[in-house]
Amino acid sequence: MAVAQDYPQTPREYLRLMDANGDGRISEAEYVEYMSRSFLRMDTNGDGILESSELPGGRGRPISLREFQDNLRRQFHRLDRNHDGYLSAKELAQPPG
């Protein structure tokens, strides 16, 4: 069982986890790859679709990995407030606009 201390506590800690190439910022590809891990963990049968039974609470509309990642891309661009194509720790800390 994971405890709260296992999870990043600050935006900078999240940035370090997502920053695959270590350049201090998060690209769209890094964001989508990192955030897709939760989908892949929940997709227990590995078919690329989260069925209602695989969703938290066992309810909700099924969603494909492609739909999920398209949503992540839209979220990335809402978070990228300065429109430079990357997320900073500050941008990660703000709710999507």
Query: Quick check: 75 and 96 in contact, CB under 8 A?
Result: yes
Structural domain spans, the chain: 26-93
Give CA 81 to chain center in angstroms: 17
* Interval 39-63 mean pLDDT: 93
Condensed to tens digits (0 to 9), the pLDDT of residues 77-93 reads 999 999 999 999 999 88
pLDDT band, very low/low/confident/very high, at 14 (cuts 50, 70, 90): confident
Q: What is the pLDDT of residue 1?
A: 45
| Alpha-carbon span 88 to 25, nearest angstrom | 5
Q: Structure pTM? A: 0.84
Collapsing DSSP states into helix, strand and coil, what is residue 55? coil
